[in-house]
Every structure is written in structure tokens, then in C-alpha cells.
Chains A and B, each alone.
Chain A
Amino acid sequence: MTHRPYTPWLFLAPGLAICLLFVIFPFLNMIVLAFTDASALGGGQFTGVDNFVRMAQDPKFWAAARNSGLYLVGVVPPLVLLPLLIAMLVQKVVPGIGIFRTAFFTPVIASTVVVGLIWTWLLDSRGLVNNVVEALGGSRIGFLTDSTLLLVSSMVVTVWRGLGYYMVIYLAALANVPKDLHEAAMVDGAGPVRRFWSVTVPSIRPTMVLVAALSAVNGFRVFSEIYLLSGGSGGPGGASTTLVMLIQLTGRGLTGEVGYASALSIVLFVILLGLLLVTLKLNRREDQL
């Protein structure tokens, strides 16, 4: 059989071409644009690090970075723990369990816009939740009109949407936990809680790190939830705007500041890269232990 060194490249070529055209080139272009005052209609002038200096002095950037950071803190712990608990519940083979698994997974495949609209109707000042609160004697809560509550509401939607996806990942991991370990622990008198902490968690720790990394990246890049719940405004006074939303608001339209939006995108990229590197390091340390 003849070995032709270029054969693998022929197989790779279509994928590489698409990657170069739609990922690498736009990424490099973004880096170039970040150092210009480009608008949607023109290449702009080279402005050095002006965009980054402006960013450092821009209160909107700091507010958006803080909101994205808060989002990360707010969604990662529940998205690491809750899907695990649900996975353990639905792992058991009992009649009708498929219905529950499907129910938990449905939000994952539901359209983001539809999910956003449903939650908007629920949390609106005259929505279902507020009607129930009022019927119970409470006063209406500004879930979507108070900047802090809007952020919290978005986090709830993100967690709700993510449960099913991470549940499936955990189900796969749980299936690989040896049963004899649990049986041995039971023989030694370990109860369900002890078995969870001493058998289940150590066995699926790499998966938990993976879920933490994925949910952290997705949480920091949040856009749809906050955009839909705030009607595209980023909340009253734009106080709930996240970094991705700020990029969209800055760069959109024919009059968008593409140069500044590119600079913001670079900062977002660096933060996300940092997050992934930290997770990778944590994962390696786990492997070494």
C-alpha cells in the first residue's frame, strides 16, 4: 500500500478551509479591528491602544464585567450540583422514569426565544408569579424591572435550561461508577450520604470539573436570557448588561462602533481563555492525585 503524506490533508482540507474562512480569519480580523476606530461601513484609522484605554475608563464596561462575573458565581455552583442530584434521581430504572428524564431535558431543546418569552410572561409585573404573590397577600415583585432581580431571574432561567444537558453528562458518568464500590461501602455500614461523598463524588470528579468549566464559559458568555428578559435593553438604565450584550449593543447597526466592540471581544476572549486554563490546571491536579 502506497503511503502518500498528503492524503490526510486532503481529508482535512474541507474542514480546515471552513475553519480558516469562518473562524480563524474573522478572529484575526477582530484583532486588527480592535486597534482601529472602524465602523460598520469603513475600515477606520489605526488608533493604537485607544480602545483599550477607553475601556478601562468606561463605566459601562466595568458594570458589564461585574454582571458577567456575578453571573458566573450565580450559575456555576447550581449547575454543578443540581444536575448531579437530578441525574442520581432519574438514574434508577423504575417504570415511567423516561418521562422524568424527558421532562428535565426538554428545556435544552426548546427554542431560546420561546423560553425567554415564557419566562417573561411568568415574571412580568402582571405575570403569573406576581399574580400568585399578590393573591397570597404580598406585593408585586419587579423581577424584570429591578436590575438586580433581573440578573437573578436570568440566572434562574440559565440554570433551568442547563439542568437537562448537564444531567445527561452526569448520567453517563454515573453509569461508569463501579457498583461493587457502593456495595463494599454498604457492607462497611456507609449510608446514602456517606456513599455520595465518599464513592460517587470522587468517581465523577473529572466530570464535575468539566461541567464547571462548560457552565462557567456559558455563564460568562450569557446573552439570550438577559436580552430576552430585558426586552433587549439590558435592564433599567442598562444596569444588567453583560459583556456579550455590551459587545452587541456597541457593535450593532450601520453606526456601530466595530473597533471598540472588537476590543471588548478580545477582553472577553482572554477572560474565557483564562477560565479554561484554570479548569484545565485543576483537572490535571486531580489526575495527579
Chain B
Amino acid sequence: MKRRTFLAGLAAVPVAGCGLSGTSSTSTGGTGQVTGEITFQTWSLKPKYTDYVNGVVEAFQKQHQGTTVKWVDQPADGYLAKVMADASAGSLPDVINVPPDLSFPLAKAGQLVNLDESLEDAKPEYLGNAWQAFEIPGKGGCYGFPWYLNTGPIFYNKALFRQAGLDPDKPPTNFRELETQALKLAEKKIAILGQTPSIADFGLYGVKLFENDKFTFNAPKGVEFAESYKRMYDAGALIPEALTQNYTGAGAKFMAQQTALNSGSAYDLGKFKTDAPSLYANIGITTPITNTGSANMFLHGVSVPKSSKNQATALAFGRFVTNAENQVKFAKLASIFPSTSKGGDDPYFTTEDGTDEARVRVAAAKQLKTAVNYTPVQFSDQMREALLQQLADAMLGKKSPKQALDDAVAECNRLLK
């Protein structure tokens, strides 16, 4: 779900500049000649990033004479349906923009090119954690070039913290503090959260999510986490909508100052400034709440389907579009971060200029070095729904947190087959 927060944000960020100058590409690798026509499908990048993508396409075509890249952008709504229809018909575009959880079922069905085999020298160009996100756990092989990344700070409402007698400069940094402060806020009838925990939150708590081809988040640590949420829910620290709400709903409630804390991205800060100025005046920004020391990371990538008739060109373009230079340029237009091992060194990501935006950006870039994509790639939409429903039953007291997690894990493992 958080993937879409990230995307929605990306789609809405205004373009500050446009076009790309001539770029020097990395080596193409792969087999076959880089020539001919390919189709490149992106996820909701038009019209905000039209100039940027066209610039990349032109630079690639200039560097590889005889190639033509046809760019197709699909809106976020219905993207999954489009990929599904194309995959079923065996007519996926030559280069396709997918996050890890979409690349996984395609790779599992044998539809994507294994980059570890086709481009052996590509791996070192990307951050290890980003490359790993496109691997099939336990089976090896990487099925997508990591593209843009994001990680979020935690935003909190200082005014609401003050109202509950909490120090607005000491927001929670781990889940134990989160519960303590949530209960304190609840005493003043202030809800801290607008969502029940996602699978990534279990990971941030330190729960082992997936092991030996099975989901394991019903381990005692997972139950302990769900019990903590149950205590918070019973105290009124979660709004009633938390039982059914996704990221968008939770974000809207935070914007409406109905909850005191929410995870977000660098993009959200600009949104608060324009859409919720009274919240912006009281906004607190802190590091992600984690028990592991690592933040959560969201990422996108580009994959090359095996059905591509022009695989060498598709691989070369996939690598080109995700190279350090192109990613840094893209990251400067949108509130995202490069997934290449070199891109993050750019002063844009390491130097503060005194603004909140730069502070969030630098902090996020630093976080990304150790961030983990906690959501297992096997975790599908149906599994997400199962977890949400079981947690709702636990919060409502229809079943114990342990029973709810046991049932969620059983359903997820059934869906895994």
C-alpha cells in the first residue's frame, strides 16, 4: 500500500526543470545488438515528467543509433490491470516499470529476464539493498533494475503533543515509546494513528516476516506487536477508521489533524505547506519509528520481459534509464532518491540549505543507506487484505491477537501456493 503513497506523491510533484543533456551511458552488456524498436512503459509519469523521460529516450537513441524507444505511460489507476492483461496475453512491453511486488509474480511465472545471468556486471552499479529487493528470496536471480527509491520520515503534530502534555521535541523513536505516548495522548481523547500496522511495520518492530518459504509474522514477537496495537486501540489511540483504512485515508486524517502522527515522504511536506498550513505550522519531523535501527524503503524498478523481441536493446535501455546520472536528474525533479551506488553522493542529497525540505531530503538519503524493503515480495494484495481484516477482528475483540495473526499467516501461506 505504501508503494502507492510514494507513487501518488511522485505523480503530483511539479517539474522544476526539464530535459536531459547528452549522457554517457554505462556499458550495455547482454547479448545481441542494441538496435531496433522497443516499448518502454512507465507508471503515472505523464504529464509531470514528460520532458524528463523524453530527454532520457532521446539521449539513449542518440547514443545508440538505429534504436527507437516508444514511451507509453499508464495512469496509476488500472496499472495493475494493464500489466495483468499484457502478461496474460504474453505481450508485455519491452521495458516495464514495476515495483518488486509486481515483478515477483511475473518472475515466478518465468516471464522476466534474470539480470544476474544476462548482465553479470550490472549488480555493483546499484545499492545492495535495492538490488536485493528484486531478487526471488531463496532462489536467487534479480528480475529488475532498481530505479527510484524513497523512505519517509515520521511527521507528527506538535500542537496535539503539547495538548496532551507531551514534550513536542521528544517524539517516539521506537515502538515502546510509541505505545507510551499514544496512551498519554488517548487520555486527552487524541488519536495518534490512523491505521493498523502494515506488514512493513511488523518488520520495523523486528518480527521475522518470512522464512523457509513461509510467512512467520505470527511468531511471539509479532503477537506482542499486535497486542500493543490492541491496547492502543482499546484506549482510543487509533481512530475508528483505522480498521478499514489504507495509507491514503490515514494521510488524510493526519492532514485534517485528527491523528497526531503519520509516516510520510519528503513530498508530503510540500503538500502540508499548501494544503494544510495550520498543520504545517505545527509539524514535527523525526526519524522512522523502528526497533531494528533500519528504516523502511519503497522502490520501483524496470524489468525486461522474456517475451521482448529486442531483448538486448531493452536491457541496454533499462540499464540506461536507471544509471546514476539519469537517476540523480530524476531525483532532483521529484522527491525521490537514486538507487545507484554512486547517485547518493551528489551534494543535493548530502548538504542542507536551512530549509525543512532539504533537512528531510538529507535525512532520508542518509536513512536509505541502511534502509530495508521490509515488505516481502511475496506479499500480495490479497495477503494485505487478509492481514488488515484479521487485525480488525483482533482490535474489535472478535479474536485474540494471536489467533488473528495465526489466521492471517495461514491465509497468506495458502495464497502463496
Contacts and interface: CB of A to CB of B under 8 A. Distances in A.
Nearest to A252: B381
A231 B244 contact: yes
Interface string B246-259: 10010000001010
Interface of A: 40-42, 124-126, 142, 144-145, 230-238, 249-250, 252-257
A125 B256 CA distance: 13
A112 B396 CA distance: 30
B57 interface: no
B301 to A, nearest CB: 15
Contact of A145 (B87, B88, B244, B381): B244
B411 to A, nearest CB: 10
Contacts of A232: 246
Q: Which of B83, B105, B246 has the largest number of chain A CB atoms within 10 A? A: B105
Interface string B232-245: 00000001110111
A41 B88 contact: yes
B313 interface: no
Contacts of B395: 236
B72 interface: no
B241 A124 contact: yes
Contact of B382 (A41, A234, A235, A250): A250
A126 B388 CA distance: 22
A201 B88 CA distance: 53
Interface string B85-117: 001100000000000001001100101000000
Contact of A237 (B105, B398, B415): B398
B213 to A, nearest CB: 15
A254 B380 CA distance: 8
- Chain B interface, DSSP helix/strand/loop, else mixed: helix
Interface in B389-413: 389-390, 392-393, 395-396, 398
B240 A145 contact: yes
A51 to B, nearest CB: 14
**Most chain A beta carbons < 10 A, residue from B244, B246, B249:** B244
A1 to B, nearest CB: 47
Contacts of B167: none
B382 A249 contact: yes
Nearest to B242: A145
A125 B393 contact: no
A255 B246 contact: no
17 contacts: A40-B84, A41-B105, A126-B256, A126-B258, A142-B240, A145-B241, A230-B244, A231-B245, A231-B246, A232-B246, A233-B245, A233-B388, A236-B389, A237-B243, A238-B392, A253-B84, A254-B80
B380 A249 contact: no
A50 to B, nearest CB: 13
B382 A256 contact: yes
A29 B249 CA distance: 37
Contacts of B102: 254
Contacts of A252: 80, 381-382
A236 B109 CA distance: 33
Nearest to A241: B389
A237 B392 contact: yes
Which of A124, A234, A235 has its CB near the most chain B CB atoms (within 10 A)?
A124
Contacts of A250: 382
B275 interface: no
Contacts of A249: 382, 385
B109 A233 contact: no
A234 B380 CA distance: 17
Report which residue of B240, B256, B381 has the largest number of chain A beta carbons within 10 angstroms of its beta carbon.
B240
A255 B392 CA distance: 23
A253 B99 CA distance: 13
A231 to B, nearest CB: 5
Nearest to B248: A231
A212 B206 CA distance: 55
A254 B84 contact: yes
A54 B178 CA distance: 42
A232 B241 CA distance: 12
B239 A238 contact: no
Nearest to B196: A236
Contacts of A238: 385, 389, 392
Given A231-B241, A254-B80, A255-B380, 10 more contacts: A124-B241, A125-B241, A145-B244, A233-B243, A233-B244, A236-B395, A237-B392, A238-B392, A252-B80, A253-B80
Contact of B385 (A42, A126, A145, A233): A233
A268 B360 CA distance: 51
Given A125-B239, A126-B256, A237 B385 contact: no
A77 B241 CA distance: 31
Contacts of B244: 144-145, 230-231, 233, 235-236
Nearest to A144: B241
Contacts of B84: 40-41, 253-254, 256
Contacts of A235: 244
Given A145-B243, A237-B243, A250-B382, A41 B80 contact: no
Nearest to B394: A237
A238 B389 CA distance: 6
Contacts of B389: 233-234, 236-238
B382 A255 contact: yes
A214 B29 CA distance: 61
A124 to B, nearest CB: 7
A254 B105 contact: yes
A61 to B, nearest CB: 14
A142 B393 CA distance: 16
Nearest to A254: B105
A250 B87 CA distance: 18
Given A126-B258, A236-B392, A237-B396, A253 B380 contact: yes
Nearest to B111: A41
Contacts of A230: 244
A40 B380 CA distance: 13
